Chains A and B, each alone.
Chain A
Amino acid sequence: MMDIVTPGYMPHEALFPIVVDAMFTKNFLLVMFLGLCSFVGLTTNSETSKGMSMAVTFVMTMSAILTWPIFYYLLKPNHLMFLQTICFILVIASFVQLVEFIIHRYSPPLYRSLGIYLPLISTNCAVLGVVLLNVKEDFSYGASIVYAFGAGLGYSWVMLATAAVREKLIMRGVDLFNGFIGAFFAAMMMALIVVSYFSVVKL
């Protein structure tokens, strides 16, 4: 019989290391390898990268807010942890659909710039990854929200930086590095920086 530990609301972990972890040392795109399909597809120009980054950060944070209570109050007390994957997907996909309805109704310009990325995000491994990692690391409610937001920021900076690099590569006309290959080599440089520099600074 398992002890069900009532999880706390207030974060008992230090928040700053969590954010730095999410943004750099355990960056979702470069280190955890989550969200790569959207990364190679959308970093060809900075407009789409901006839209996607904002949408992903928003969905990640909201997903963390919604899924944490479901896991700790619905699944865990009933020993139904094996249902976590399906329940999380259900919640994330429904939430994204709801947001799409709301944006379409109340802000058509926002819908035109952001709304088209929303269906893309509901099956993005980064969003589900955040939620699963929150559960695995056993964060408190506050910490998991901060972690998700940090993950979104980490995703954003890598997207924007890579978009900048790839736009320049296209201009320069180096045909070999067009497309995915350029994206991978750019990602390699950034991963090198993140892994070697930030590992030295222990927090």
Chain B
Amino acid sequence: MMQLIPPAIAVLGGLGFAMAAMLVWASKAFHVETDPLVDALIELMPGANCGACGFPGCADCAEHIVAGDVTPDICTSCDAERFELIGELLGIEISTAEPTYPVILCQGGTNCKDRYDYIGADTCRAAILLAGTKKACSYGCIGLGDCVRACMFDAIEIADNGLPRIKKYNCKGCGSCVRECPQQVLTIAKEHGPVYVVCSSHDKGKYVKEICEFGCIGCGICKKNCPEGAIKLVKALAVIDQEKCTQCGTCIDVCPRNAIVKL
């Protein structure tokens, strides 16, 4: 048995030494040159990889920022404090854009009748497949929370009225929920911004009256009263042209259905 000790030491020692030498060589031979500035910037980035900047991840965005392709304010997930740190690192001034939050262009939720009792996968995408969505309004919010699941910052939740509610203190305006919504009733708006018709329904007015308490019926009163002529009717739904709108608020007062809101 003792005669096994020298070969054991030789084999194990030799193998270990060989592997170690190979790894030391490999770590030098395959060394990836990383710009220390990019590494430092990646540390400062939010790291959420939300994709709002258009790049597949914070690491990629950092590379493009250092390369000069884009300016840092493309990152919507950064807050003022972070921008200050990034600005310090890169030696530049960063002017931050206004925060943009999503708005929900629907006031249905529990106010809107259901077309049928839905028993199926707990996701909006599934609930819109049959007979023109499970809500009586084919254009409105389903309320099963695909947007909630899409949010990486826990900034959106389904409120008691069956509609999504934005938690502004967490929202970074990345737009994941907007992209995710299969009914496309979410859209990005500036915080204290313009006036919106919070309805997406193109159904005829008589039908909308039956199914939803606040839906736009396409009566056209807002259009008649708008001093700038910024409103037009698209298939029984009022649409406000944000370029022409002066936010005077006349339409909000005259709408019989309370379907227009100033955010």
Contacts and interface: CB of A to CB of B under 8 A. Distances in A.
Interface of A: 70, 74-75, 78-80, 83, 86-87, 90-91, 94, 97-98, 101-102, 104-106, 112, 168, 171-173
Contacts of A104: 30, 32
B2 interface: no
B7 interface: yes
Contact of B32 (A70, A74, A105): A105
B46 to A, nearest CB: 17
Interface string B103-145: 0000000000000000001110010000000000000000000
A90 B26 contact: no
A98 B23 contact: yes
B122 A171 contact: yes
Given A78-B11, A80-B7, 12 more contacts: A74-B11, A78-B7, A79-B4, A80-B8, A90-B16, A90-B19, A97-B23, A101-B30, A102-B26, A104-B30, A105-B32, A171-B123
Closest 6 CB pairs of A and B: A94-B19, A101-B30, A105-B30, A173-B122, A78-B7, A171-B121
A181 to B, nearest CB: 18
Contact of B11 (A83, A91, A105, A172): A83
Contact of A70 (B4, B7, B15, B122): B15
User: Interface range on chain B: under 10, 10 to 19, 20 to 34, or 35 or more?
Assistant: 20 to 34
A80 B4 contact: yes
B87 interface: no
B27 A101 contact: yes
The dominant DSSP class at the B interface is: helix
Nearest to B16: A90
B8 A83 contact: yes
A3 B11 CA distance: 21
Most buried by A among B16, B26, B31, B121: B26
Interface in B214-250: none
B121 to A, nearest CB: 5
A106 B26 CA distance: 13
Most buried by A among B12, B15, B121: B15
7 contacts: A74-B11, A80-B8, A87-B15, A91-B19, A94-B22, A94-B23, A171-B121
A171 to B, nearest CB: 5
Contacts of B121: 168, 171-172
A105 B15 CA distance: 26
A193 to B, nearest CB: 25
A94 B18 CA distance: 10
Contact of B26 (A86, A101, A168): A101
Contacts of A74: 11, 15
Contacts of A173: 122
Contacts of A75: 11
Contacts of B26: 97-98, 101-102
A1 B194 CA distance: 92
A106 B33 CA distance: 12
B127 to A, nearest CB: 11
B12 A87 contact: yes
A105 B31 contact: yes
B31 to A, nearest CB: 7
A184 B126 CA distance: 27
A80 B11 contact: yes
B35 to A, nearest CB: 14
A86 B12 contact: yes
Contacts of B19: 90-91, 94
Interface string B42-56: 000000000000000
B193 interface: no
B57 interface: yes
B17 to A, nearest CB: 11
A101 B30 CA distance: 6
A165 B15 CA distance: 44
A74 B169 CA distance: 64
Most buried by B among A80, A102, A168: A80
A56 B67 CA distance: 36
